[in-house]
Structure 1
């Protein structure tokens, strides 16, 4: 069942090769399925979480590490190294419009499971040992597909719960980190001239590629392009000069109310002493018009 599903879920035109040293090719899924190595996930969804384990016994020792059983293992018969493949019941969306909270949750699970398995942190995840190819020793373990909650129940995610900290730059953690970095940059950068959409999209893509180059193992260019497009669309549609001016006014109003509430006891005391508005303005460091407005608000 799992192997049939693996075939069904292949991208329409996956990367594939029989020899990693010869580089990757792109052909139809039917043709690519005959290769030793293949791309398991497309650029918009993650159907499979894949881990590269470079040690003998890799296809079996997940049990010794108290990790969930993989859906599929594909082992190299020459050295016992293996790829462990976990099938997701609901794929994780990484395309434009993907929600950040589910992506971060999936990224936390992905990086935590990598550490628990002792898998290679430099593995890009772009291609894996093709479990449909007879060269590998293949086994199917867990017949059911996993939900993220299922995997969570096997793991300790406490180290990944602090949203102030970025996730490890591994697997889906890279998608999450790139999305957050690019979003934070875009909220300020779009105010520099309020560019048209095409110019803005190009700027977001250039910035995303720069951030991606800083990862130990960068994301595929298509994935970077999808994240850049998502951020560009969102900010260009929602951040406008008019909207920013209204936001600034609202923030100023909030700050003014907070300051007024903070100084209210002193204001009342000075008024009870018979001080003039000019004196109160000097003593509080506020403008006379501000004091006048506050006094009118007390009446």
Structure 2
């Protein structure tokens, strides 16, 4: 007798997943046919999240979601020795995590994931890379919700307002998808500008992206592992290297920095700053008419600028 939820799990596996038979010896990568025999396996695609996964390290983890008024998981995969479990929620539409994906859906997904993690009382240090493999006979599996979830359906059971999820600037950086969201957001914004500094070759550019992503990763409460950082860096490096060229940028500058356009931008900037950002006042000036307000205040020029730009 077939299990539709298990079939769905297997259909959505990456072509070459990470896997492990003993986490003490780390993870390896291999073809799907080999990896599917292991105790632990990567369950999401490199650039698409089909499952929200949660690690719950307590007795009764596979059933106490109902006591917490959390939505029913699609699958629970339980360790019979201690009752700890992975809870998987199957999504109807995958969440794109590649650097060319839109940030708004990614932020929303991160907020939903974080709210659900809190409601379930799941481990905040879980990276979400691999889970207990439901194909392996060592684990006990159960199917609870056969229908595929949308993010809105999950959100109906959660308090997203408490996480300020409606705020586009709110990034949930401490858990799962939120960490990917943070690294993608920061690293790709840096990459859009940095690649224009000399237009480096691909290998040099990949190393630069990796070092920058690693630096941002160290700022997270629960950092991602090295393989995930390299995956993010490689995605950003490949995409920007393919889509950003010196000739393309020159063409963009010529197209968007024509004199009429710059004139309009200058006028708009003047309106926004109400006549410019310089402070007004009867400041002293030198013999050439250059205003020097620090002279009147009796302070150095550097001190005056520090005070101005702190405001």
TM-score, length-normalised on structure 1? 0.77
Q: Corresponding residue for 1:89? A: 92
Aligned-partner Cα distance in 2 for 1:136–1:165: 37
1:183-202 equivalences in 2 (<5 Å)? 183-193=188-198, 195-196=199-200, 198=202, 199-202=204-207
Equivalent residue in structure 2 for 1:253, among 264, 281, 293: 264
Runs of 4+ in 1 over 6 A off after TM superposition: none
Q: Within 5 Å, which residues of 2 pair with 1:40-119?
A: 40-119=43-122
Higher relative contact order (CA 8 A, sep 6+): 1
The answer for the alignment partner of 1:152 in structure 2 is: 155
**Residue of 234, 238, 258 corresponding to 1:229:** 238
Q: Check whether the contact 2:115–2:160 (CA below 8 A) recurs between aligned residues.
A: yes
Q: Is the 8 A contact 1:96 1:229 kept in 2?
A: no
Which residue is equivalent to 1:292?
none
Find 2:126's aligned residue among 123, 129, 133.
123
Listed as ranges, the matches of 1:237-248 within 5 Å are 240-241=249-250, 243-244=252-253, 246-247=256-257
Distance 2:119 2:248 in 1: 41
Cα shift at 1:176? 1.2
Q: 1:12 aligns with which of 4, 9, 15?
A: 15
Alpha-carbon distance, 1:251 to partner: 5.4
Aligned to 1:171: 176
CA apart distance, 1:116: 1.3
Shift of 1:117: 0.9
1:145-187, Cα deviation, whole Å (9 max, x unpaired): 1111211212122222222232233211112111211233234
> Equivalents in 2 of 1:189, 1:212: separation in Å?
18
Q: Secondary structure of 2:212's match?
A: helix
Partner of 1:297: none
- The number of aligned residues is 263
CA RMSD in angstroms comes to 2.7
1:16-69 deviations in Å (ceiling 9; x for gaps): 222111222322222222221111112121111110001111101111111110
- Structure 2 unmatched runs, 5+: 276-288, 290-311
- 8 Å contact kept, 1:169–1:177: no
Q: Which runs of 5+ in 1 are unaligned?
A: 264-281, 283-299
Rg larger for: 1
